[in-house]
Structure 1
Amino acid sequence: MLEERTKRRVMRARFGELSREELRELRKAERRLFIDAHKQEAAQRARVAEQEKAAWRSRDFLPAAGEDGPTALRTSRSFVAPTHRADSGILGLAYPFLADPGLGTKGTMVGRNLLGGSAFVYGPFDLYKEGIISDPNIIISGKVGEGKSTLVKVLTSRGAAFMCRSYVPADVKGEWTGPCRAIGGSAFEIGPGMLARINPLANPIHRPPSISEQEWVITSRNRRAMLLESIAERLLNRELWAMERSALAYALEQVERREQEEPTLAEVVHELFNPQTNSDGKVPDGFSSLAEVATNSREVGHALARLTTGALSGVLDRRSDGVQFDPSDPMVSVDVSRLRGSELLDVVMTCTSSWMESALMDGTDSRRYMIYDEGWRVFARPPLLRRMQEHWKVARNWGISNVLVMHGFGDLQTAGDGGEASRAMAANLVNDSSTVISFRQSGKAVAAAQEMLDLTDTASSLLTRLRRGQSLWRIGQRMSLVQVTRTEREAALFDTDERMVSHGAA
């Protein structure tokens, strides 16, 4: 009955049919319901709290004030760390990868320092002069399309404004011709059907006044002998025997005696097949007859003849033509892209490199970059690897910064025949390079980089997460994270099939 009366009151309240007294009673009933519900919720919370307290009391916890004596593990007093002050150099060692101060303002602006936010400036010659690095050599590695070639072009083209000259002895992909000519340099193209020819046994420059005639002759002969031995061992796929080495040296000496200005590969091959007595009518020391000389010359001659016949005929075996080397040019490149499919491309690269390197042994203190792209081609052959190692060690004496570009540090571990000696030579290239730049790497290459560069876990983990144009630099004992940048004009010149498409860098 009461419930029915309440329903009627509710209905009347909706339509305004309740009196004031009935409305007052209805509000009192609603308040009582609210108070009862609140009391029930409070009682429920109290029961839950009591259960939680009972659960805590049933466990074995430390007292609020901690234990007494030397076994105390905590205290009710708050912990306050003492204030410590130090200069930025000490803090940089204590907290690395927080704020990189950079390398100063001497050198070429490469991009942005991602660890400090400032512009990143790098100059191997200035850093060597200040004692920050022990040599000017640079190794650049990374996956295809991550910006390796653009970094090298940025470094060399901008460096031309600071009197840093650059040389590309073997442009395998034909991508340096545009940047080279854009800054006023010279670019030559060699290959089948091309007018330009390079004689690797010739000296592209005249004898500098700072070098005596006798020293120039000895230096030129040593360079030619080292080149011929390297490419002969590469073509024979073995080391030369002692008598083969002597026969090759004798053939070169005979050709130099007849052709004092510019001996050629074709003439050396002809002399190997047809040895003659020397100017005194005698056979060389260590041989009993010309027949013995011919026996030890024949196989070497057939190996070198591969550079004078077939697709390479007329490319490297004749006198130089159409190539005027000017050491004062800001950049010089040799385009060998027409020979890219040849199995002897690594030999061609070695020949053009030797030809260009001979022009840099002039005793000057000029700041010069020597760019070796497609480094894996050289690593595959122990003779060529040995030659490059020797060139790395004399870089400081010649005022040259060798720049080697490769895909990953796994190339070094499989260098040459994959033996211990070849891997040691490849590792020495890294040890003789104070600057090692790593773009994004694949998983296996990261492990090789960490082992060879002695990277921390934090640094090595970055190599798989770098974006295009970002690179990790090891400069002496310092590490920097850099974003390479380029202008619109540079983007038009530097774009290749491996170009970068984001972050304003390539």
Structure 2
Amino acid sequence: MTRKVVHIAPANQTRADRRARELEIRTALRDGATQQSTRDKRGLPEPAVPGPFGPGLGNGGYWNLAPMRVPAHQATSQHLAGIYPFVADTGLGHRGPIVGVDLNADALWHFSPWETYADATERGAFSTNILVLGAYRSGKSATIKTLVVRSLAFGHQAVVPSDSKGEWVVVANAVGGTVIRLGHDTHTRLNPLARGPRRTGTSDEQHEQMVRQRRIATLISLIEMALGGKALTAPEHACIHLALERAITATHDHPTLRAVYAEVIRIAGGDTDDPDLIPASSGPRYVLRRFVDGDLSGLFEDESTVVFDENSPLVVVDTSELFARGELVAQLTQVCATAWIQAVISDRDAHRTRYVIREEGWRDMTSLAALQMYQQWLKLSRHYGISNIVILHKMGDLDAVGAAGSQERHLAYSMVGDIENKFIFRVNHQEQAALRDRLNLPATHVDMARQLRKGEFIAYVGQFSYLVDCFSTSTDYEYDLFKTDDAVLPHTDIDLDPAVVEPVRIDEWWPNPTDEPESSLTGWLTAEREIG
């Protein structure tokens, strides 16, 4: 605490008198400090103070040598926001789950993409999608798991179309979710050409066009990807279109990759009125054979053997076994699994709000057809009540999309840059230019992103930004459940084996979430760990 002395001087005092008084005051204070130190060392009590104004009072003046103590200013974050408008912010309010602590306002930070989209004020956002960007071990996955799991109490569902590392399986088992395993010696099959539910509010013609576009885009993406990203020629496009139409007729509108493969073989054998389609069928035929008789057989070539669980809080498609077979197999798997998920959840009539977590999001952008389908999916997310969470390690991940200067790469960067909600975690030195040029971030924020600790991120919501620490509100249970460093760090005593972990009911974590979600969440969090 700073010591302050108030001087009350007579009106007729000269400058020489004032200097003499100041010297006298300094001498008195110095002597008093020396005497106080001596008394403290000897353990003597404080001396009696002569007179009402304390020691050192000069003759003929009105001097007060008693120190004045000013108490520290105390105020709430709401008042501080008015006193220091560029330091303390009012935040996004208390709607949605608690994600962390706003380090600038020292207050809990709530976030829900649907609540911010519904906000008609200047703090609202125009999209429900989220871009998550950060280096390895910066806390991206753990933060997204925190957001998703805490959102379950608010009635939101979460879907992971392709869990390439198997890290979401443990979370799904812990919250009583559903895990669909591919390539684990099971007989699980997903049909990427499934029709899916009827879109509410669309005419018959609109619905058929949407289904047709999704099916043909999936086929073209698979074939171009397997051919090394080479764009298909016009005859090859015509061949695929003809084979798909014939497969739809032959299967009574239940086409599969096996049925399309059979029709391509027929075209290659001369069953067509256009002779140019015969040589054009070579590339598609060899690609589709991988799904029917090759290394991807038994996964996507026939009708689906599983049904999407509408009531499950978290649905995870475990593709970790297939990702171990190579990068191309991983990309083909992700396209097929994502196409199946999009077909079964694109129903507005379900009245459900869902997170779709796209780990390694760049793998969904491997061709122009896939990019166009991805772009349409992002645009329709609000219509279907979906929040796409696109996770990238760095902006350079998109360099794998097309050649330098190509239309594919330009479209990929444009789509990512248009995502309005962004969570920027710690980045490497090489990412500075990309953040400034590609995402148009301020230079001060770019410098800040290099210094962030694990679990801290800069959140851009609409026109506002926030510095958030997610882990400051995490319990030990959450932290051990959500961490992804098991392969390189020592294990804890908490057993998170999906085979033995006991599912936890959501209403046991957050009692009565529909009555008082804010107080229930806050009480549970503060009871587990003091909020820093």
Q: Same fold (TM over 0.5)?
A: yes
Counterparts of 1:391 and 1:500, CA distance in 2: 37
Unaligned runs of 5+ in 2: 1-77, 491-528
Q: Is the 8 A contact 1:211 1:362 kept in 2?
A: no
Match of 2:75 in 1: none
* Residues 439/93 of structure 1: CA separation in 2 closer, same or farther (3 Å cut): farther
**1:114 maps to what in 2?**
103
Distance 2:83 2:256 in 1: 57
Alpha-carbon distance in 2 for matches of 1:219, 1:146: 39
Q: Is the 8 A contact 1:174 1:335 kept in 2?
A: yes
Distance in 2 between residues matched to 1:428 and 1:392, nearest whole Å: 12
Q: What is the match of residue 475 of structure 2?
A: 487
1:77-132 per-position Cα deviation (integer Å, ceiling 9, x unaligned): xxxxxxxxxxx899789953x11221001112101111111101001101001141
Q: Tell me by how many angstroms 1:414 deviates.
A: 5.5
CA distance in 1, matches of 2:238, 2:448: 52
| Equivalent residue, structure 2, for 1:307 | 291
Quick one: structure 1 residues 206 and 420, their matched pair in 2 at CA, closer, same or farther if it must change by over 3 Å? closer
Cα gap change, 1:245/1:192 in structure 2, threshold over 3 Å: closer, same or farther? farther
1:225 paired with 2:216, answer yes
Which position in structure 2 is the counterpart of 1:143?
135
SS in 1 for 2:438: helix
Partner of 2:389: 403
Q: Tell me the CA shift for residue 146 of structure 1.
A: 1.2
CA distance 1:382–1:443, shift in 2 (3 Å): farther
Q: SS of the residue aligned with 2:142?
A: helix
Tell me the CA shift for residue 297 of structure 1: 2.1
Deviation at 1:253, TM superposition (A): 0.9
Cα distance between partner residues in 2 of 1:400 and 1:93: 39
Conserved 8 A contact 1:211-1:363: no
Q: Which amino acid aligns with 2:331?
A: D
Aligned residue number for residue 102 of structure 1: 91
- Aligned partners of 2:205 and 2:344: how far apart in 1? 17
1:422 aligned residue? 408
Compare 162-171 and 414-423 and name the one that shifted more: 414-423
Find the aligned partners of 1:447 and 1:246 in 2 and give their Cα distance.
42
Q: Report the CA distance between 1:292 and its aligned residue.
A: 3.6
What CA distance in whole angstroms lies between the structure 2 residues aligned with 1:327 and 1:450?
41
Q: Which residue number corresponds to residue 353 of structure 2?
A: 367
Distance 2:181 2:280 in 1: 36
- Asked if 1:255 is matched to 2:238, the reply is no
After TM superposition, give the deviation of residue 184 of structure 1 in Å. Answer: 2.6
Measure the CA separation in 1 of the matches of 2:378 and 2:414.
9
Q: Which runs of 5+ in 1 are unaligned?
A: 1-87, 284-288
CA contact (8 A) 2:221 2:366 kept: no
Deviation at 1:433, TM superposition (A): 1.0
1:270 CA displacement: 1.5
Taking only aligned residues, the RMSD between alpha carbons, in angstroms, comes to 3.0
Q: Structure 2 counterpart of 1:401, which letter?
A: S
Deviations 1:438-465 (A, max 9, x none): 1100011122112222222221111111
Give distance in 2, aligned partners of 1:394 and 1:320.
25
CA distance in 2, matches of 1:470, 1:94: 23
TM-superposition CA deviations, 1:301-331 (whole Å, max 9, x none): 222223333321111112222x221223221
Residues 234 and 383 in structure 1, CA contact (< 8 A), matched pair in contact too: no
Q: Secondary structure at the match of 1:312?
A: coil
Instruction: Give the one of 309, 323, 347 matched to 1:326.
Output: 309
My pick for the range that moved more, 458-467 or 428-437, is 428-437
What is the distance in 2 between the residues matched to 1:397 and 1:156?
20
**Counterpart AA for 1:412:** L
CA contact (8 A) 1:327 1:359 kept: no
CA distance in 1 between counterparts of 2:188 and 2:158 reads 20
Structure 2 partner of 1:349:
334
| Residue 423 of structure 2: aligned partner | 437
SS in structure 2 at match of 1:136? coil
Please give the secondary structure, in 1, of the residue aligned with 2:295. Answer: helix
SS of aligned partner of 1:274: helix
Query: What is the identity, as a one-letter code, of the residue corresponding to 2:475?
Result: T
Could you tell me which of 441, 445, 456 is aligned with 1:470?
456
For 2:115, the equivalent position in structure 1 comes to 126
Structure 1 CA distance for aligned equivalents of residues 279 and 110 of structure 2: 58
Equivalence for 1:161 = 153
d(CA) in 2 for partners of 1:165, 1:481: 26
State the shift of 1:228 in Å: 0.7
Contact 1:272 1:294 in 2 (8 A): no
Stretch of structure 1 that moved more, 154-163 or 233-242? 233-242
Q: Note closer, same or farther for the CA distance 1:248–1:492 as it changes in structure 2 (3 Å cut).
A: same
Give SS of 2:281's match: helix
Amino acid at match of 1:229: I
How far off its partner does 1:216 sit?
A: 4.5
Aligned residues: 407
Does structure 1 retain, via aligned residues, the 8 Å contact 2:99–2:110?
yes
Q: Which residue of 2 aligns with 1:338?
A: 321
8 Å contact 2:236–2:284 — kept in the other structure? yes
CA contact (8 A) 1:274 1:294 kept: no
Secondary structure of 1:370's match? strand
* Cα separation, 1, equivalents of 2:373 and 2:278: 27
> CA 1:381/1:240 → structure 2, altered by over 3 Å: closer, same or farther?
closer
Q: CA deviation at 1:189?
A: 0.5
Distance in 1, matches of 2:125 and 2:353, equals 16
Q: 1:422/1:93 Cα in 2 relative to 1: closer, same or farther (>3 Å)?
A: farther
Which structure has the bigger radius of gyration?
A: 1
Q: 2:225 aligns with which of 225, 231, 234?
A: 234
Whole-angstrom distance in 2 between the partners of 1:276 and 1:459? 57
Give me the whole-angstrom Cα distance separating, in 2, the residues matched to 1:414 and 1:217. 33
SS of equivalent to 2:166: coil
SS at match of 2:158: strand
Q: 1:95 to 1:500 in 2, by over 3 A?
A: farther
Distance 1:90 1:419 in 2: 49
Over the matched positions of the two proteins, sequence identity in percent amounts to: 31
Post-superposition Cα deviations, 1:211-233, rounded to whole Å, max 9, x if no partner, equal 66665544333221111112222
Identify which range, 162-171 or 301-310, moves more after superposition.
301-310
